[in-house]
Amino acid sequence: MSDPILEVSKLNKSFGPVHVLHDVDFNVYPGEVTALVGDNGAGKSTLVKCIAGIYGIDSGEIRFEGKPVVMSDPRVPTGLGIEFVYQDLALADNLDITQNMFLGREIRRFGFLADGEMERKARGALESLSVRTVSSVRQKVANLSGGQRQTVAIAKAVLWNSKVVFLDEPTAALGVAQTRQVLDLVRRLADAGLGVVLISHNMNDVLEVSDRIAALYLGRVAAEVSAKESNTTQIVELITSGRSGDLGLSAATADKPA
């Protein structure tokens, strides 16, 4: 097993009197898909926002490529090569694919937008991910299907030589065929050497595409398991009660209030 590219150790986060994350350990490995699962309120979003530099942490450590880092603001993880694709995708419907992929990071030459260069890079990013569902990078995003939108958002994230990509519910509200396309794309990201974090409530998707699964329960990591050695029943039990058989939190810990 390779060393983790991203390590979160003993992370704690509170909002006033509410202790949201309790000594959370979470690792992301290059070339693997790590699923982060948990019920609503388990702390998934808070953990991701701490890594993204949106929330400060109370205690604990974050390491990237073996070195301690302080995610003081969102520019820090971006500069390290950590990208986030949130559920709302943050795409502008009135712009085309190329314009969306370079929004806020436009390439300029002699003070002018380098449209041709950006178009080539956008096309290259999609081709590198073996995307065949988008016919032209000059299509308006407003005219794309849900699956195509998700594909563009993911391609936008990996355009910047990213090393770790967080995907928040990438198959939510997608049909069967579109879900298949996105899951294939998630797997290709990992096969290309990236560390991929999949946040999802769909256990079928999680078990199909993930290498390992970290289950959060009331702000604590109940367990981290191999996807190949797990099943839907076990993961659901970890999510809903913090335990599954002999695996997970102790009964006393699982019964503690958040």
pLDDT in tens, 141-157: 999 998 899 999 999 98
Pairing assessment for the beta strands 247-248 and 243-244 based on DSSP bridges: antiparallel
Under the banding of pLDDT at 50, 70 and 90, the label for residue 174 is confident
Quote the strand ranges of 31-131, DSSP E.
33-38, 59-64, 67-69, 82-85, 108-109, 112-113
Pairing assessment for the beta strands 164-168 and 195-199 based on DSSP bridges: parallel
* Average pLDDT rounded to a whole number, residues 187-209: 95
Go through the domains of the chain in sequence order and give each one's CATH number.
30-56+72-81+163-258 (3.40.50.300), 91-162 (no CATH)
Residue 45 vs residue 129, higher pLDDT: 45
Is the model's pLDDT at 257 over the cut of 80? no
**How much is the pTM?**
0.90
Count CA within 13 A, CB hemisphere, residue 202. Answer: 16
Residue 255 vs residue 116, higher pLDDT: 116
pLDDT in tens, 70-83: 999 999 999 999 99
Count CA within 13 A, CB hemisphere, residue 64. Answer: 16
Percent of the chain scoring above 90 in pLDDT: 78
Quote the strand ranges of 142-211, DSSP E.
164-168, 195-199
Under the banding of pLDDT at 50, 70 and 90, the label for residue 227 is very high
Per-residue tokens: 130? 């073996």
pLDDT in tens, 98-130: 999 999 899 999 989 999 999 999 999 898 888
